[in-house]
């Protein structure tokens, strides 16, 4: 439908004028004062919520990747627990331990990469709220600008607005810093993993696979090396000290499994502690304080790791406290040592 028009003649010239109805010239009704107040409040809430999300992501990344001490992080804990639930759902179907172990080898890397994705998602949503409060348009426009800034794609511009430009720069820096921290973190965690597994792998030569305290003492006895156990205790004392430092400050390394299914840093630690305890209490060799120092180092390291993950344990056991080893189990081990011709103390 075309608008009506009128043709006039003045001074020999023709002029055409479009006749606009009065209804088209009517101004829109003014906004109610209450509507503007609600909009301002919503923008402030979006900005505050966005800042909180960004701070949560940055503080979480600092606790996990930067702080050189044991610092528990709720975001990392929730992510790894969620990933563990998924892996547990799949592994319970496997009757074979080796198939389940092959799948669980992906647990720690998957949790770590998903954690970085969660950090980036929190930053993305947080800056979406900030841009929305700074007048970037609707939610879609604010999300588009936030994603373009975070991933440094550049297809969305903050325009000539200075606050939006500064927010865009800060989001780009936050995204780059998170990725750079991850790149620097991976060599550190794999270095700690490699040092841990090098010592665990050497235990297979001495204690078999899977390792056994009885097998360790029997092999040392066969090669007449019981007097050399002090060197083993000293090395594992250093291993326990490094284990405590790396497995509380780099929490993800706890879940990185050994290269082969028959190895585990937990069973290796238990084997060495059992062997040191049997040597101090049962094997007929001169007393060596390095063995008892190894036991103390292992107890402290495993206790601190258990405390970090909230695993219940007795932080200050007494000599007369009950233990988990029964008399029958100890007698069986004593008999196996005797059958392997390991010199034992009388009256064990």
Residue in 315, 310, 312 with CA at minimum distance from that of residue 300: 315
Kindly report, residue by residue over 270-296, the tens digit of the pLDDT. 999 999 999 999 999 998 899 999 999
Calpha distance 50→150 (Å, rounded)? 14
Mean pLDDT of the chain: 87
Predicted local distance difference test score (pLDDT) of residue 315: 84
Predicted local distance difference test score (pLDDT) of residue 32: 56
Residue in 146, 141, 158, 174 with CA at minimum distance from that of residue 54: 174
Kindly report, residue by residue over 74-122, the tens digit of the pLDDT. 999 999 999 999 999 988 888 888 889 999 999 999 999 999 999 999 9
Calpha distance 140→168 (Å, rounded)? 16
Predicted local distance difference test score (pLDDT) of residue 241: 95
State the average pLDDT over residues 264-275.
95
Predicted local distance difference test score (pLDDT) of residue 21: 56
Strands (E), the chain: 5-10, 13-18
Record the tokens describing residue 340, joined without a space.
């392997």
Predicted local distance difference test score (pLDDT) of residue 25: 47
Predicted local distance difference test score (pLDDT) of residue 96: 85
Calpha distance 44→21 (Å, rounded)? 41
- Residues in a beta bridge with 13: 10
């Amino acid at each position: 439908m075309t608008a009506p028009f009128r043709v006039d003649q003045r001074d020999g010239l023709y002029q055409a004028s479009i006749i606009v109805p009065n209804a088209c010239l009517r101004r829109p009704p003014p906004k109610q004062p209450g509507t503007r107040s609600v909009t301002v409040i919503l923008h402030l809430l979006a900005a505050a919520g966005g800042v909180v999300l960004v701070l949560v992501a940055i503080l979480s990344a600092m606790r996990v990747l930067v702080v050189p001490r044991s610092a528990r992080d709720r975001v990392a804990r929730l992510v790894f627990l969620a990933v563990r639930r998924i892996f547990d759902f799949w592994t319970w179907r496997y009757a074979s331990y080796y198939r389940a172990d092959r799948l669980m080898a992906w647990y720690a890397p998957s949790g770590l990469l998903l954690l970085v994705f969660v950090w980036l998602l929190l930053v993305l949503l947080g800056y979406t709220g900030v841009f929305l409060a700074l007048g970037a348009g609707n939610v879609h426009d604010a999300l588009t600008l936030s994603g373009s800034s975070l991933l440094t794609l550049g297809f969305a511009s903050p325009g000539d607005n200075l606050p939006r430009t500064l927010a865009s720069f800060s989001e780009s820096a936050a995204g780059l810093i998170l990725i750079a921290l991850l790149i620097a973190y991976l060599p550190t965690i794999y270095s700690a993993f490699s040092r841990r597994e090098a010592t665990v792998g050497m235990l297979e030569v001495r204690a078999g696979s899977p390792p056994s305290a009885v097998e360790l003492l029997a092999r040392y006895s066969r090669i007449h090396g019981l007097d050399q156990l002090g060197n083993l205790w000293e090395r594992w004392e250093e291993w326990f000290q490094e284990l405590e430092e790396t497995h509380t400050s780099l929490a993800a390394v706890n879940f990185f499994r050994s290269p082969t299914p028959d190895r585990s840093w937990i069973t290796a630690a238990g084997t060495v502690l059992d062997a040191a305890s049997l040597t101090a209490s049962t094997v007929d060799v001169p007393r060596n304080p390095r063995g008892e120092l190894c036991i103390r180092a292992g107890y402290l390291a495993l206790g601190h790791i258990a405390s970090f993950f909230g695993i219940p344990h007795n932080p200050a056991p007494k000599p007369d406290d009950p233990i988990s080893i029964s008399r029958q189990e100890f007698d069986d081990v004593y008999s196996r040592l005797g059958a392997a011709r390991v010199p034992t103390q009388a009256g064990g």
